[in-house]
Amino acid sequence: MYDYLIVGAGLFGSVFAYEANKRGKKVLVIDKRNHIGGNIYTKQVEGINVHEYGAHIFHTSDKEIWDYIQQFAMFNRYTNSPIARYKDEVYNMPFNMNTFNKMWGVITPQEAKDKINQQIKEAGIIKPRNLEEQAISMVGKDIYEKLIKGYTAKQWGKPCTELPTFIIKRLPVRLTYDNNYFNDLYQGIPIGGYTQIIEKMLENIDVKLNCDFFNHKKEMEKIANKIIFTGMIDQYYNYQYGTLEYRSLRFETEVLNMVNYQGNAVVNYNEYEIPFTRIIEHKHFEYGNQAKTVITREYPRKWEKGDEPYYPINDDINNNLYKKYKALANKEKKVIFGGRLGMYQYLDMHNVIKEALLCVKREFNG
């Protein structure tokens, strides 16, 4: 008999397991995959720590969260500075003075501002009705056409004219020559990869892999006083109100017999005609100089039951459906839902840790 059964050996479940174990609770962690770590799992290939489920860069402005994660690994000084390719042109991301200089030859922030405002005025959009109109009313037509339109349509599987405005509203636009994607105070990659962090969190805790909760649901519900569930909330309730929507991803990874393939960890491919959204070259996350390199192409795809869900689609229809499941969850005495799938929201790693620690606080401090 366990105090807690934790469904999912990702970041949320592992933080909760670590904290519960520290408080003397008996914990079992299960995961349907054959490894721990969830989507932050990294594995070594040719001496390179490969981010199996896409690029993960840790960033936060919360010192408490930064100090917390530092217990488990030493972090390097990696700065996320992706670049975007459109045909044979290369642009810096996020949109900043380097981007505007390459796009229009402008040099000062005022020149860039004038150019953007001129294009916004020419577009004549008063009230944006969709993502295309929202983007043009923020950065003008040139940047939209080259750096937003194709990439976003691939990412979400719909043309920008059919996507809601909120997706693009938080787009970073800077009038400085700063290629750092995040504004956070702390940023880096764990030296040696992310898996070691989860290994340390789950030390001395019972872990069962290749174990699908839904294949053993009745038995699993009996072996612990409480369940921390980090899977899909709608699946837990057998989709009784309908299915929440997600976007999925397919990864294509290969080892190349060369030292350096693209010169940057992340390169976005912004043309719609190229089916993948980006190529990740993993060695650059840790400034590697190995003889070979490992790259991963990332293909967005429509999610269907049985696929791995990556991004919740938080439009009004899905958010309203989630509220129905949340109402059921609020009545539960034995089950707590957490993580990106359990809470049906896109959470960065630092947010996941914060939510897990809040859950611990509610559970043990009342």
Q: Which residues are catalytic?
A: 170, 174, 247, 278, 298, 346, 348
3-class DSSP assignment, residue 45: strand
Q: Count of CB atoms within 10 A of residue 311's CB?
A: 16
> Which CA distances in Å does 108 have to 92, 96, 118, 176, 247?
16, 11, 16, 9, 39
Q: Indicate the SS3 state at residue 306.
A: coil
How far, in Å, CA of 192 to CA of 186, rounded?
18
Report the DSSP pairing between strands 83-86 and 186-188: unpaired
Could you check whether the bond before residue 309 is cis, i.e. omega within 30 degrees of 0?
no
Q: What is the 3-state secondary structure (H, E, C) of 94-138?
A: CECHHHHHHHHCCCCHHHHHHHHHHHHHHHCCCCCCCHHHHHHHH
Mapping DSSP to helix (H, G, I), strand (E, B) and coil, where does residue 39 land?
helix
Q: Is the dihedral of CA 225, 216, 208, 232 positive or negative?
A: negative
Residue 61's contacts (CB-CB under 8 Å, 6 or more residues apart) are 183, 184, 185, 186
For CA atoms 331, 333, 334, 339, give the dihedral sign: positive
CB-neighbour burial class of residue 177 (10 A; exposed 0-12, middle 13-18, buried 19+): middle
